[in-house]
Amino acid sequence: MSTIDWSELPLDVLGYLTSFLPLPDYHRFGAVCKNWSIVVRERHHRPAQQLPWYILGEESSTGKRVFLNLAENKHYYMDIPELHEHFVCGSSFGWLFGVDIHMNIRMVEPFSRKSYNLPPLDFSPAILNDPDHNWEVLKAISDHDPSERSDFTVMVVGYNYRVAFWRHGDPTWTIPYKSYGAINDVIFFKGKFYAIGYVCSDQIFVVDVGLGPDAELISLEHQVPMLPNTYKYLAEFKGELLVLQIQKARGIASGTRNEAWPCPHKGTTNIVVHKLDLDLEGKSCFECEHLDNHALFVGNNSL
């Protein structure tokens, strides 16, 4: 019986096999031989769905970025020089977004080391001279994978809970017209960017980035019952748009003396989730009592 040379399998077959591998095994696969490495670099198939990885910051002695793989309960240490002294403010399609003290934003694919340097983000000139402005980018996402298409757009939530976007090739960021309160979260869903208001807001917005400098946040009519004083997030789940409202214990939050304000550092007292149907008139919704044993990770990130 002849021996099978696995390194000579057709590239399309090898690529298909990689779609069943979790991320660590996906990259171990690429270290086997030249042909297998080509398949991983070309990324015709994504790794299998898995739990997200936590980014824990840099190791002080080496500067390596520390990741926690929840599925394995294991730490990985990666040297990503492009993100040294950067605060990681988001991720999309496996790309990481980092912002430095001067509000320069960089997006990096940590395995291929491809990167884009985005223009400095200037929400307010005053914060650039303030050493305590604390990396004023709260979240960054992209609408497409830059590895697959060049016409991608990046959107961020930043200083004073405002949003801005940058389209590949633009010389500067665009800050959409602001006739609204603060924004807490953004998402790219079925070809459009959506945003949701901060604690006291009951608004959901859609952003038409195709308008470029004339873009504005347009309030979306919806029937989601908004609870007072909750932290609000948007998430995609099985092809549907979810609106999550998280109630926190009351307390004096940073920057306010209002003891009735929900404090982000205190425990969660209640979570209410609604599915929002954007296809129907009136933007109908209904409350979700369970997620079929699935878990959602919300915050300053994007899966």
Instruction: Give the tens place of pLDDT for each residue, 53-109.
Output: 778 878 888 888 888 888 788 888 888 888 888 888 888 888 999 988 888 889 998
Does the pLDDT at position 223 exceed 90? no
Does the pLDDT at position 193 exceed 90? yes
Task: Report how far residue 230's alpha carbon sits from residue 160's, in angstroms, rounded to the nearest whole number.
Answer: 18
11-18 helix and 34-42 helix, angle to the nearest 10 degrees: 60
Across the chain, mean pLDDT equals: 80
Q: What is the pLDDT of residue 126?
A: 47
> What is the band of 167 on the pLDDT scale with cuts at 50, 70, 90?
very high
Residue 195 dihedral angles phi and psi, to the nearest 5°: -135, 155
CB-based contacts of 48: which residues, under 8 Å, 6+ apart? 19, 20, 21, 22
CB of 180 within 8 A of CB of 195?
no
Q: What is the pLDDT of residue 107?
A: 93
Q: What is the pLDDT of residue 128?
A: 46
Q: Please give the full DSSP string across 137-196, using - where no structure is assigned.
A: EEEEEESS-TTT-S--EEEEEEGGGEEEEEETT-SS-B--B--S--EEEEEEETTEEEEE
Query: pLDDT tens across 4-31, in order?
Result: 677 777 888 888 888 888 777 877 888 8
| Segments of the chain assigned E as strands | 53-58, 65-69, 74-78, 87-92, 95-99, 105-108, 115-118, 137-142, 153-158, 162-167, 183-189, 192-197, 204-207, 217-220, 231-237, 240-248, 268-276, 285-288
β-pair partners for 97: 90, 107
Question: Of the given ranges (87-96, 174-183, 227-236), which has the lowest mean pLDDT?
Answer: 174-183
Task: Report how far residue 62's alpha carbon sits from residue 85's, in angstroms, rounded to the nearest whole number.
Answer: 12
CB of 224 within 8 A of CB of 243?
yes
Query: pLDDT tens across 101-157, in order?
Result: 888 889 998 877 889 999 888 765 444 445 555 457 889 999 999 988 889 999 998
Query: pLDDT tens across 269-291, in order?
Result: 788 999 888 876 657 788 888 88
Task: Report how far residue 194's alpha carbon sits from residue 90's, in angstroms, rounded to the nearest whole number.
Answer: 16
CB of 156 within 8 A of CB of 163?
yes
Q: What is the pLDDT of residue 26?
A: 78
3-state helix, strand, coil in the chain (%, to 5): 15, 35, 50
CB of 158 within 8 A of CB of 175?
no
Helix (H, G, I), strand (E, B) or coil at 128: helix
CB of 298 within 8 A of CB of 235?
yes
Q: What is the pLDDT of residue 292?
A: 82
Mean pLDDT of 241-255: 73
CB-based contacts of 210: which residues, under 8 Å, 6+ apart? none
Q: What is the pLDDT of residue 97?
A: 92
